[in-house]
Chains A and B, each alone.
Chain A
Amino acid sequence: MWNRVVGLIIKEILVFIRDPRSRFVLIVPPLVQMFIFGYAATFDLFRVSFALYDENRTYHSREFIAKFIGSPIFRLKKEILNDSQLKDEIQKRNVLFVLHIDRRFDRDLLSGRSGKVQLIVDGRNSNTAAILTGYANQIIADYNVDWIKKSGRIPPPSQITFRAFYNPNLLSQWFIVPGLIGILTFVVSAMTIGLSIAREKEMGTFDQLLVTPLRPIEILVGKTIPGLIFAMAQATLILLAALLWFKIPFHGHILLLYLGLFFFLFAIIGIELAISSISSTQQQALLGVFFFLVPSIILSGFSTPIRNMPEPIQYLTFLNPMRYFLVIVRGIFLEAKGLDTLWDQYLPLLGIGLVSMSFSWFLFKQRLY
């Protein structure tokens, strides 16, 4: 039996390696995407353009505004002089917010009252608006502390400090790039394995495979192992890019990561083979893969937390292998998590893998007898 399976595995690998286009597809697009998305997929704000509407125009207002201009997060694009301009600038998306300084700013500030400042923010991208507001509040809070010290005002009776663990500068790249290892490996394996059997059916070579002495379970193994090998190799490539190029800190154990990767691939390859064997044409398989791929990415917590989803959808995410893998890969990278806290992520992956593999095996049998 093993001779036959090994033969099939070698055949599958050769089929893939000998096709230059497939080779290209496996290596180049994932790496290119890694570099582009690693930089593009960020929630951190940088050089956000704003307009200044300073009705005070004194030394004190300038000094306050300098805090905004000096921050790498904000970039002064324009000064405006009246209310109607203010509306225009935001509506046309020229700037993301307008910083408006009250006419009596310096008098209020110097006389012990509060100098008034207004921020008018474009809410079309509401997350950006929320983050931006946070940064602005921070700048104002820092300014308040400095002013209190300088002017000998009575300090507020309580203070609050923040410290971030695992990602002290709160860089979203540290969050997104490890996740990309999962996403990109997933996309390519879905496109290759998910289409493989349907492609063979369309070309008629699947029937040739069926008239060989191979049993369904042997075909299943012979199709799974090459897929696993390719996906692992590809994940390694992307992992190296994350470590060497993006310099994402890696605090955990590399073997645990590979164990997670193995379980994850086992689960998704099972699902992909099932999709592929249900479909009779490549187009159907592609659709099936897509129906699987897109929700898996959206409902994985890759870009938006699962915690924010409505409860029924949160339950749905328990079926999603990507969900578990993202927890594993991020936990190992940043938080140095070990098996003691991650075992409950590995087990569901194994469970999903076993169920989907048995289902694929059942489908192969159906086709055979």
Chain B
Amino acid sequence: MKKKLFFNNRLYAFIRKEWIQILRDPSSFVIAFVLPAILLFLFGYGVSLDAIHLPVGIVVEHPTRLSSSFESSLKNSIYFSPLSYQTIQKAQLDFQKGRLIGIIWLRGNWSRESLAFGKGTIQTIVNGTDANTARLLEGYLLGVWTGWLKREMIDQNIQLSMPISQEIRVWFNPALITKDYLVPGIIVINMTVVGALLTSLVVAREWERGTMEAMLATPLTKLEHFVGKLLPYFILGMGGMIFSFLLAVFLFKVPFRGSFWMLILSSVFFLLAVLGIGALISNISRNSFVASMVAIVTSYLPAFMLSGFIFDIQSMPVAIQFLTFFFPARYFVSILQTLFLAGNVWSVLSWNLLVLFFFGVVVNGLCYISWKRRLE
């Protein structure tokens, strides 16, 4: 019996039965293909940290040539859409209502003091509630102000150089398009959710409905049962993965600089890990409500928050950084961000792949052990 394992009719028949079951239950297909597509669309178009056209108010108490040249530099920047106010009170009212996220205040004596060396100060008030946007706003405003100052000094023939001048070069994504780094991460979230949902519900549901019991009464061996159950979902998951990849490259036009085979290899390892986690959860809980709950708690939100997809892992407290090692999404995000934007950087890929592989082995091993053959 052991000799013919994997090539015998039993396993073939079982996989075929599972496959038909998947085909006839539309929800599995929806999870594998429709869900990733919708997620990619939403994330791809909906998630962006590119702060442009920030609504700011500019208060000019005594308009002069200088203030209007500053105002027009502000208007010409894509980062701002400024509204003019005559008094600070009016601007503050809109600021409190949330219509403005910043106020740029040129006080009455500003243009008299400005360009009189070191006196004229532009005061800026920022709504700090959304700290990230506030910080970006400060950075952009500093840029606009520096550019304006340089032009004004040239116009007025003021020879002056700052003690230090900096040049900033950004590699891999020079225009800082957030989409290019978010889309690879989105694929990871997608596949985490898809993988965990596919298996966590299915196996638990079989326990609940008693069809698992029926399977136990067949001559299938434990290994055949295990493989036959997971293999169809693995194929479905890979289909969803390739579909997401094509959408990312052709629809969202994210550059892909690595090799396709690396992508496939890492996806295989990753999917084995997440499918194994889903099946393990259902084996332990044997209740589809609890299994789905646990699967979502351990897949979607951690993949969103702890994978380095949007929040930088290096900046988290050490204890939380340690925790991120237990979520396979972390490794896959690192692999995909590198494959898409930088190419085959072996030192990044190799250890991430290795960890993913071990993850898959351990999880599936545990799953196999917990695959009970006895009725209670």
CB <8 Å contact, B169 and A191? no
Docked Cα-Cα span, A167 to B158, in Å, equals 38
CB <8 Å contact, A123 and B173? yes
Docked Cα-Cα span, A309 to B41, in Å, equals 12
Of A40, A114, A128, most B-chain CB atoms within 10 Å: A40
- B276-306 residues at the A interface, CB under 8 angstroms: 285, 287-290, 292-294, 296-297, 300-301, 304-306
Proximity bits, A320-353, B CB within 8 Å = 1, else 0: 0000000100110011000001000000000000
Q: Across the interface, name the chain A residue whose C-beta is closest to B159.
A: A154
The yes or no answer to A126 lying at the interface (CB within 8 A) is: yes
Distance to closest chain A CB from B182 (angstroms): 8
Docked Cα-Cα span, A43 to B31, in Å, equals 31
CB-CB under 8 A from B45, the residues of chain A are 309-310, 313
CB-CB under 8 A from A48, the residues of chain B are 314-315
The yes or no answer to A213 lying at the interface (CB within 8 A) is: no
Given A33-B301, A45-B312, are A282 and B142 also a contact pair (CB < 8 Å)? Answer: no
CB-CB under 8 A from B27, the residues of chain A are 281, 283-284, 287
Proximity bits, B78-113, A CB within 8 Å = 1, else 0: 000000000000000001111000000000000000
- B130-176 residues at the A interface, CB under 8 angstroms: 130-136, 138-139, 141-142, 145, 149, 152-153, 158, 160-174, 176
The yes or no answer to A358 lying at the interface (CB within 8 A) is: no
The yes or no answer to B180 lying at the interface (CB within 8 A) is: yes
CB <8 Å contact, B117 and A154? yes
CB <8 Å contact, B130 and A175? yes
Docked Cα-Cα span, A29 to B132, in Å, equals 27
CB <8 Å contact, B311 and A298? no
Q: Across the interface, name the chain A residue whose C-beta is closest to B54.
A: A307
CB <8 Å contact, A294 and B39? yes
Given A92-B345, A148-B163, are A141 and B142 also a contact pair (CB < 8 Å)? Answer: yes
CB <8 Å contact, B139 and A119? no
CB-CB under 8 A from A96, the residues of chain B are 314
CB-CB under 8 A from A29, the residues of chain B are 293, 297
CB-CB under 8 A from A174, the residues of chain B are 129, 131
The yes or no answer to A163 lying at the interface (CB within 8 A) is: yes
Proximity bits, A114-134, B CB within 8 Å = 1, else 0: 111111111111111111011
The yes or no answer to B124 lying at the interface (CB within 8 A) is: yes
CB <8 Å contact, B348 and A93? yes
The yes or no answer to B121 lying at the interface (CB within 8 A) is: yes
Checking B48, B126, B311 against A41 with a beta-carbon cut-off of 8 angstroms, the contacting residue is B311
CB <8 Å contact, A167 and B121? no
CB <8 Å contact, A286 and B172? no
- A179-197 residues at the B interface, CB under 8 angstroms: 187, 191, 195
Docked Cα-Cα span, A133 to B312, in Å, equals 15
Given A44-B131, A127-B310, are A92 and B347 also a contact pair (CB < 8 Å)? Answer: yes
- A140-163 residues at the B interface, CB under 8 angstroms: 140-141, 143-144, 147-148, 151, 153-163
Proximity bits, B45-89, A CB within 8 Å = 1, else 0: 111111111110000000000000000000000000000000000
CB-CB under 8 A from B120, the residues of chain A are 157-159
CB-CB under 8 A from A131, the residues of chain B are 132, 135-136, 139
Docked Cα-Cα span, A93 to B349, in Å, equals 11
The yes or no answer to B216 lying at the interface (CB within 8 A) is: no
Checking B122, B136, B296, B310 against A303 with a beta-carbon cut-off of 8 angstroms, the contacting residue is B310
The yes or no answer to B230 lying at the interface (CB within 8 A) is: no
CB-CB under 8 A from B308, the residues of chain A are 125
The yes or no answer to B244 lying at the interface (CB within 8 A) is: no
Distance to closest chain A CB from B72 (angstroms): 16
CB <8 Å contact, B124 and A151? no
Distance to closest chain A CB from B35 (angstroms): 7
Distance to closest chain B CB from A151 (angstroms): 7
The yes or no answer to A46 lying at the interface (CB within 8 A) is: yes
Checking B38, B153, B162, B294 against A291 with a beta-carbon cut-off of 8 angstroms, the contacting residue is B38
The yes or no answer to A91 lying at the interface (CB within 8 A) is: yes
CB <8 Å contact, A286 and B201? yes
Docked Cα-Cα span, A91 to B27, in Å, equals 41
Q: Which residues of A line the B interface, CB within 8 A?
A: 21-22, 25, 29, 33, 36-37, 39-49, 64, 90-93, 96, 109, 112-131, 133-134, 136-138, 140-141, 143-144, 147-148, 151, 153-172, 174-175, 187, 191, 195, 199, 281-284, 286-287, 290-291, 293-295, 297-299, 303-305, 307-310, 313, 327, 330-331, 334-335, 341
Known: A41-B311, A45-B315, A124-B338; 14 extra A-B contacts, CB below 8 A, are: A39-B320, A117-B165, A120-B171, A123-B174, A124-B337, A130-B139, A134-B136, A144-B162, A162-B138, A165-B127, A172-B132, A195-B289, A309-B45, A313-B46
Q: Which residues of B line the A interface, CB within 8 A?
A: 25, 27, 30-31, 35, 38-39, 42-43, 45-55, 95-98, 114-118, 120-136, 138-139, 141-142, 145, 149, 152-153, 158, 160-174, 176-178, 180-181, 193, 197, 201, 205, 285, 287-290, 292-294, 296-297, 300-301, 304-306, 308, 310-312, 314-317, 319-320, 323-324, 334, 337-338, 341-342, 345, 347-348
Q: Supply 30 A–B pairs (Cβ within 8 Å), ascending by A.
A: A21-B287, A25-B290, A33-B301, A36-B320, A36-B323, A40-B320, A42-B316, A43-B131, A64-B164, A93-B334, A96-B314, A109-B163, A114-B162, A126-B176, A127-B178, A127-B310, A129-B170, A134-B142, A138-B142, A143-B164, A157-B114, A157-B160, A163-B126, A172-B132, A187-B301, A282-B201, A294-B39, A295-B38, A299-B42, A305-B130
